Structure 1
């Protein structure tokens, strides 16, 4: 059964949103691609949307039956703007919402965890996707990618802790199913790749694939917090550094079968991602 109304994809030019919009469009689902500049997205209707400008919400929600939600970037309190928006969406007829959260943040936890806790009470059809750390953190213009290019190093406070890094393509595949399947998941699956890897192991894989030396530089919690705080608010920097400390304590040393169970395909490996995205052109 096709979804009723369009699907609003918030963050449609971002890492997961762009892939979700493309996946929905490929299925013939009407997509409203929301971004702050209403950037054109192939196969979708571009609409202007800003979490912090509620005047943009009404037009973005027009004719929408389902939502893909990417929280405001860098906000330590996304619930302050997201919950009023979600209440308006429900009043306007939205029936299903799929929220991008994090494996590190449980329902009722900090930041987007507050939205997670409220979502089932707002919509009868819902899903909260809780991916582990993105493989895409090592590509493009991310902090890790920049330090790899500029210094041949990845800097973390994660010690020897392991992470089940997941490809954004797999996150998007789960999101598309959660948005379009006749029955909503009504669940909060943790999404991982097939292996839990330390950053030392990540550095070794990137070195092998790219042919350029990459090392893992071990920082303390305070060193990482201060490094982040040079670019983002201190409260958010502290939260990110605390996530690395949790990795060092084993919080992310796990894998799940959620990608395969929800999409029918195995999740991609970090090596496959690196060969696709980072291998030098011949």
Structure 2
């Protein structure tokens, strides 16, 4: 695949990794097409998982795509999307650490198999948990800032926490490569329990921060009480159970090898965002 002949589409372009993938491609001199619900820029096209009519126009002429799957029931839309992508040669899929251990009917593993079986070239990115989950714009960032608590049923299990910007850099490398890079497990350079992450945030921000570990059942009950959809609860329960079992504890070398530098550390991320956690949200 040559960059002159094929265009690159970034899905999830406003998300945790997608915006950094876009930035990395632009920095490399390869400005991508970005798929968003409400396009405003000239390089943006409309793409909405809930509106299949937007898929084919967004994929028209695209040879490589950064694919962030929909969070709930991802197999049918991914399968339909791949069937519509006539010019597509290479898919770079954002997956999760440990999915290769799952049975073929696990939804996220099934998406991996659909991509690997239906594309000429493919790259599967399997990152550990993102540091960004607990920072600005993260899923639990505001909760940590408001309550001073990291709430996750992981006990003393360790996490090889990774910076989403490093993962995005590898995605950009894959999208501009001449062939797929296969399955990659992307982790940070150290592994620690969330109690250690909480201690580091506390030291950097000057506020008491602690890790609270409910049971898996308690965590699911809290999600139901908040009105979360059952499909989302099942998905989150699965990755929480994996985390508690230590699936995301090992440190792998794929990220350092492909970056050709050391990955960002937990301490670097914490120091960078200390001011965010230092300002509690008013009740």
TM-score (norm 2): 0.91
Q: Deviations over 1:52-106 (max 9, x none)?
A: 211101210122111000011x31x1011111101211xx211111000111423
- Deviation, 1:227, is 2.0
Pick aligned residue for 1:137 from 124, 133, 136: 133
- Deviation, 1:46, is 0.6
Equivalent residue number for residue 171 of structure 1? 167
CA, structure 1 residues 71+39, in 2 after alignment: closer, same or farther (shift >3 Å)? farther
Q: Say which SS state the counterpart of residue 34 (structure 1) adopts.
A: strand
Q: Say which SS state the counterpart of residue 33 (structure 1) adopts.
A: strand
Unaligned runs of 5+ in 2: 279-283
Equivalent residue number for residue 226 of structure 1? 221
Pick aligned residue for 1:212 from 207, 212, 237: 207
Q: Say which SS state the counterpart of residue 188 (structure 1) adopts.
A: strand
Equivalent residue number for residue 150 of structure 1? 146
Equivalent residue number for residue 94 of structure 1? 88
Equivalent residue number for residue 32 of structure 1? 33
The question of whether the paired residues in 2 share the 8 Å contact of 1:6 and 1:30 is answered with no
Within 5 Å, give how 1:103-122 maps onto structure 2: 103-106=97-100, 108=104, 110-122=106-118
The aligned length equals 273
Aligned-partner Cα distance in 2 for 1:14–1:164: 21
Q: Say which SS state the counterpart of residue 250 (structure 1) adopts.
A: coil
Aligned-partner Cα distance in 1 for 2:274–2:56: 40
CA, structure 1 residues 133+114, in 2 after alignment: closer, same or farther (shift >3 Å)? same
Q: Say which SS state the counterpart of residue 183 (structure 2) adopts.
A: coil
Q: Say which SS state the counterpart of residue 254 (structure 1) adopts.
A: coil
CA, structure 1 residues 193+231, in 2 after alignment: closer, same or farther (shift >3 Å)? farther
CA, structure 1 residues 78+277, in 2 after alignment: closer, same or farther (shift >3 Å)? same
Q: Say which SS state the counterpart of residue 86 (structure 1) adopts.
A: helix
Equivalent residue number for residue 202 of structure 1? 197
Moved more, 24-33 or 101-110: 101-110
Equivalent residue number for residue 69 of structure 1? 67
Aligned-partner Cα distance in 2 for 1:163–1:234: 26
Aligned-partner Cα distance in 2 for 1:19–1:101: 16
Within 5 Å, give how 1:2-41 maps onto structure 2: 2-3=2-3, 4-40=5-41
- Deviation, 1:17, is 0.5
TM-score (norm 1): 0.91
Aligned-partner Cα distance in 1 for 2:200–2:176: 35
- Pairwise CA RMSD: 1.8
The question of whether the paired residues in 2 share the 8 Å contact of 1:207 and 1:213 is answered with yes
Pick aligned residue for 2:263 from 255, 260, 267: 267
Q: Is 2:273 the partner of 1:277?
A: yes
Equivalent residue number for residue 54 of structure 1? 52
Aligned-partner Cα distance in 1 for 2:147–2:132: 18
The question of whether the paired residues in 2 share the 8 Å contact of 1:157 and 1:241 is answered with no
Pick aligned residue for 1:191 from 149, 165, 186: 186
Aligned-partner Cα distance in 2 for 1:101–1:277: 26
Moved more, 226-235 or 155-164: 226-235
Write out the 4+ residue segments of structure 1 that deviate beyond 4 Å after TM superposition.
none
